[in-house]
Amino acid sequence: MDTKIIVALDYPDASSALSLVQQLDPEICKLKVGKQLFTAAGPRFVEDLVSRGYPVFLDLKFHDIPTTVGLACAAAANLGVWMMNVHALGGGAMLRAARAALGEAGDRPKLIAVTLLTSMSETDMREIGLQDSPQDAVLKLARLTQINGLDGVVCSAQEAPILKQNLGAAFQLITPGIRPASAEIGDQHRVMTPVAALAAGSDYLVIGRPITHAANPLSALLAIHQEISQ
């Protein structure tokens, strides 16, 4: 089953990540490994998660010259990951190199892009010479991602309707900032419930602390799974 929930493994080392993973179920979630865990635990840990049956989203947001990014994407594909990502700000040639590195096989990993980091304010954008509004920049970068053959973008669920409207239903939207109605918001600002995010057009939900910090992570995962399956 193509489960919609991607649990963010935001842990400092393999053993703390594994103690959570052992409580989860690959039938109802995927896993996201980001820069912190990957840097600490390395590629063998990613392969371990894959061998346990989990689809893994390798969230390393590659951004470099096209050749280097292409080679990094090929190396990630060799780990057996389900999804990986790059920065759309790396430009068209870099996006094409990343996409070309994954080939055309039906079971190739999905490749998505980060448009504009949600941590960037308009002031931050001006500082680096970007004159667009954040919404225009996101749409422009998502279009660039799509015309270069990538599968989708990471975005907030608030941006999902406008992106689906402009880029079509097949372009995949992966959304963090998800909070079940009963969960704490923490440091996220604009949050949506899992059901509302899917209704807004999200294809996959990245969920961290509402599951990883729950007293019983499996029950938290199951509760969200049931809520969105209904």
Binding residues for ligand C5P (CB under 6 A): 8, 10, 34, 118, 154, 176-177, 186, 188, 206-209
Catalytic residue among 4, 35, 61, 164: 61
Instruction: Give the separation between CA 222 and CA 64, rounded to whole angstroms.
Output: 39
Tell me which residue has its CB nearest to ligand C5P: 208
| Rounded Cα gap, residues 212 and 180, in angstroms | 13
Which spans in the chain are helix H? 14-21, 35-51, 66-78, 92-101, 122-127, 134-147, 160-167, 194-200, 209-212, 217-229
Taking the least distance from each CB to ligand C5P, the nearer of 146 and 156 is 156
- Whichever of 97 and 221 has its CB closer to ligand C5P, that residue is 221
Quick check: helix, strand or coil at residue 82?
A: coil
Other CB atoms within a 10 A radius of the CB of residue 102 amount to 20
- Coil, strand or helix at 73: helix
Q: Which is nearer to ligand C5P, 96 or 209 (CB)?
A: 209
Q: How far is the CB of 11 from ligand C5P (least distance, A)?
A: 10
What's the CA gap between 97 and 120, in Å, rounded? 26
Judged by CB, which is closer to ligand C5P: 73, or 112?
112
The smaller minimum CB distance to ligand C5P, of residues 6 and 97, is found at 6
Distances (CA, A) of 168 to 142, 146, 179, 189: 11, 10, 26, 27
61 counts as catalytic: yes
Minimum distance, C-beta of residue 98 to ligand C5P, in the bound complex (Å): 18
Q: How far is the CB of 104 from ligand C5P (least distance, A)?
A: 29
| Minimum CB distance to ligand C5P, residue 51 (Å) | 23
CB of 167 to ligand C5P, least distance (A): 18
CA dihedral 21, 24, 25, 26 (to 10 degrees): -40
Residues annotated as part of the active site? 61
